């Protein structure tokens, strides 16, 4: 989890571009995952699309990448968006965006996925945790 926090801080620190007039300024923002479409089981050696849905807060948010941390059979996943610094950003109400993770099954046993869903009132990270068994 400390790696997740360090990555977040690095993204914030290095996310802004130069302040020249002809450059585009942006930051990175980690967004909570709302929903995941994932198979109930995997087959060893196969590739499975995992569809991840998240709320896009403004018209200035654009998908950048997935934060993806491997730890033996555990996978931690979060969405990272660009946030462009513009004056014409519109607040979006309940606009779901989707991205797909193509997951390669290369291990026996089960995989445990932890999809980041934000923080609670005490600042503790919350996850949607899903265990998917691997069939042989």
Mean pLDDT across 57-62 = 94
Residue 72 lies in a domain: yes
Residue 24 lies in a domain: no
Distance, CA of 100 to CA of 112 (rounded, Å): 17
Q: What is the mean pLDDT of the chain?
A: 88
**pTM for the whole thing?**
0.81
> Which residue range forms the structural domain that includes residue 93?
2-17+29-135
Nearest to 32 by CA among 2, 67, 75: 67
Mean pLDDT across 62-69 = 96
At residue 25, does pLDDT exceed 70? yes
Residue 87 lies in a domain: yes
Instruction: State pLDDT tens for residues 72-128.
Output: 999 999 999 999 998 888 999 889 999 999 999 999 999 999 999 999 999 999 999
- 12: enclosing H helix or E strand: helix 2-14
CA atoms within 13 A on the CB side of 72: 3
Say what percent of the chain tops pLDDT 70: 84
At residue 6, does pLDDT exceed 60? no
Residue 86 lies in a domain: yes
pLDDT at position 18 is 46
**Structural domain total, the chain:** 1
SS3 31: strand
Q: What CATH number is attached to the domain comprising 68? A: 2.60.40
DSSP secondary structure string, 56-86?
--BTTEEEEEEEEEEETTEEEEEEEEEEE--
């Amino acid at each position: 989890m400390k790696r997740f926090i360090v990555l977040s801080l690095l993204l914030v620190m290095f996310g802004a571009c130069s302040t020249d007039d002809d450059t585009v300024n942006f930051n990175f923002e980690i967004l909570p995952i709302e929903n995941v479409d994932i198979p109930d089981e995997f087959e060893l050696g196969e590739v499975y699309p995992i569809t991840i849905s998240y709320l896009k807060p403004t018209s200035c948010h654009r998908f950048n990448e997935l934060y993806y941390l491997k730890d033996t059979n555990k996978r931690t996943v979060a969405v990272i968006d660009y946030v462009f610094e513009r004056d014409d950003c519109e607040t979006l109400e309940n606009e779901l965006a989707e991205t797909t993770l193509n997951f390669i099954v290369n291990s026996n046993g089960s995989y445990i996925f932890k999809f980041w869903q934000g923080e609670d009132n005490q600042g503790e990270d919350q996850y949607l945790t899903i265990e998917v068994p691997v069939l042989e």
